[in-house]
Amino acid sequence: MIKSFLDRKDLHTLSPESIAYLASMEVIERKDPLIAEALKKELDDQRNSLKLIASENYSSLAVQLAMGNFLTDKYAEGHPFHRFYAGCDNVDTIESVGCALAKKLFGAEHAYIQPHSGADANLIAYWAILIKRIEEPFIESLGKKNVAALTDDEYEQVRNEFASQKMMGMALDAGGHLTHGSRVNFSSKMMKSITYGVDAKTGLLDYKKIEEQAIKERPAILIAGYSAYSRLIDFSIFREIADKCGATLLVDMAHFAGLVAGKQLTGKYNPVGYADVITSTTHKTLRGPRGGIILCTEEFAPFIDKGCPYAIGGPLAHVIAAKSLAFSECLEPAFETYAANVIKNSKAMAAAFLEKGKVLISGGTDNHLVLLNVEESFGLTGRAAETLLARCGITVNRNSIPGDINGPWYTSGIRLGSAALTSRGMNEADMHKIVEIICRLLDAAEPLEGSKAKVHIADLLVKKTKMDVKELLSGYPLYPEIL
Ligand code: DSN
């Protein structure tokens, strides 16, 4: 028999958020106690761990509640006021408001907010760019109306032409993303992929080299953006390079969108106005629901808006509602302060590691993340460090570093980000404490003979670290408004 929260004596004192959470858990528990239990446990885990994963954050309860509703039952293929299904009036309202907010937030000419993830956003963007560059002019040159009017042979010519195009993005082990041309990803299978790296000594982008490579290779799509690079990117230089080699410039700002929205990356460090197409996730520094968006110039808008049929099916209208709420939150002045604090905290973390003589890729940070070389700093693989830290309630992810000697599975680095802990309210002094805790633990760890994942560590130190983490977190409760 499930005990109902409605019987609570303090019911009238609870916040609407508490009631919404308790009610939803109760409804789920009546259907499937196991699922309800896992959901509750996830909240506990998130509350009780020091989340340093650079691509994660905590979205507001309003954002979370906007996702759990009947919009999930609606098909709305197409885009606002141009749908392939009837009955989309409410989705039209929600999506058009979301697009207008995204445009306002970033000062973009056009916004498309349907992609289910950052990878989907890139998939749609690549097809849109190729179709605009290759298919449309070909159809026009033949005086035909649309792609359906091409003969099989003509269409085959277009398909071969797509496959012979080149994309050029940052290599995975230099800090790029899988979708920027990695061999294991669709990106390198739909086009030829050329990658650029970072300077082996400084860990920084070498714009001159990138320019030489781009002029030699003449990619159709030049990509700027990263998953693990701790410095700023000068998009004015990328614009010049794209113009010199005739490429469409795509910026993937999945990691730093919140720093752009929060006006911390401005001028040449803000891709808007430089890139033709910008893709992003909405759940990292932007602090919204899990999902993707695309911003672009008017010139690319008609192509980008065709995410369906190109690549995705029905949009997730419930997530689009949550994205709209998140954009509104980012437009509040408090978000600028948040974004500034994210960078301050990341810099504080970097400074604390450097004070202890630890090795950071690129020697520091200008954004929300720090890439720590754990092989050189502690004689550990990224996997060993990640596992040990997780055991003590500190979540980070292992990450390849440029020229990694341990390969992509074990790696030699860990990536640490400040976005989530800044959302909890932590400050620079806390970052110093965190680095102290991490270094004390990793300094004491001895790799186990023959293992790249296991270490020897004193139980007492693990216990002490867990207690320190708990104490630190107790000052910054997560979702205090829900019980
Ligand atoms: N998985 C994301 C990250 O951690 O950077 C990118 O897809």
| Residue 211 CB neighbours (<10 A) | 17
Q: Is the CB of 227 under 6 A from ligand 1?
A: yes
- What's this model's pTM, rounded to 2 decimal places? 0.96
Rounded to the nearest angstrom, the distance between the alpha carbon of 29 and the centre of ligand 1 is 32
**SS3 assignment, position 234:** coil
How confident is the model at residue 385, as a pLDDT? Answer: 98
189's CB contacts (< 8 A; 6+ apart) are none
Both structure tokens of 168: 């050029």
How confident is the model at residue 2, as a pLDDT? Answer: 76
Both structure tokens of 295: 């911003």
Rounded to the nearest angstrom, the distance between the alpha carbon of 141 and the centre of ligand 1 is 41
Q: Which residue type, as a one-letter code, is found at position 228?
A: A
- Report which protein residue has its CA nearest ligand 1's atom 4: 55
The whole-angstrom separation of Cα 53 and Cα 397 is 6
CB of 199 closer than 8 Å to CB of 224? no
Would you say the C-alpha torsion 347, 348, 349, 352 has a positive or negative sign? positive
Both structure tokens of 48: 């009780």
Rounded to the nearest angstrom, the distance between the alpha carbon of 227 and the centre of ligand 1 is 6
Which DSSP helix (H) or strand (E) runs through 177?
none
- Report which protein residue has its CA nearest ligand 1's atom 3: 55
Both structure tokens of 257: 């969108």
User: pLDDT tens digits, residue range 41-69?
Assistant: 999 999 999 999 999 999 999 999 999 99
Both structure tokens of 156: 């085959």
| Residue 72 CB neighbours (<10 A) | 12
Give the up-direction half-sphere exposure of residue 440: CA atoms within 13 A in the CB hemisphere: 17
- Report which protein residue has its CA nearest ligand 1's atom 1: 55
How confident is the model at residue 120, as a pLDDT? Answer: 98
Atom of ligand 1 nearest to the CA of 56: 4
Atom of ligand 1 nearest to the CA of 397: 4
Atom of ligand 1 nearest to the CA of 415: 4
96 burial type by CB count under 10 A (0-12 exposed, 13-18 middle, 19+ buried): middle
Rounded to the nearest angstrom, the distance between the alpha carbon of 56 and the centre of ligand 1 is 9
Probe residue for ligand 1, chosen from 227, 256, 282, 367 as the CB with the greatest number of ligand atoms within 8 Å:
227
Rounded to the nearest angstrom, the distance between the alpha carbon of 55 and the centre of ligand 1 is 6
How confident is the model at residue 270, as a pLDDT? Answer: 98
Rounded to the nearest angstrom, the distance between the alpha carbon of 306 and the centre of ligand 1 is 25
Identify the segments of the chain with pLDDT beneath 70.
Answer: 1
The whole-angstrom separation of Cα 366 and Cα 370 is 9
Rounded to the nearest angstrom, the distance between the alpha carbon of 330 and the centre of ligand 1 is 21
How confident is the model at residue 165, as a pLDDT? Answer: 98
Q: Which residue type, as a one-letter code, is found at position 192?
A: K
Give the up-direction half-sphere exposure of residue 256: CA atoms within 13 A in the CB hemisphere: 31
- Report which protein residue has its CA nearest ligand 1's atom 5: 227
- Region for residue 357 given its phi and psi (left: phi exceeds 0; alpha: psi -120 to 50; beta: otherwise): left
The whole-angstrom separation of Cα 155 and Cα 159 is 6
How confident is the model at residue 481, as a pLDDT? Answer: 84
Q: Is the CB of 182 under 6 A from ligand 1?
A: no
Q: Is the CB of 175 under 6 A from ligand 1?
A: no
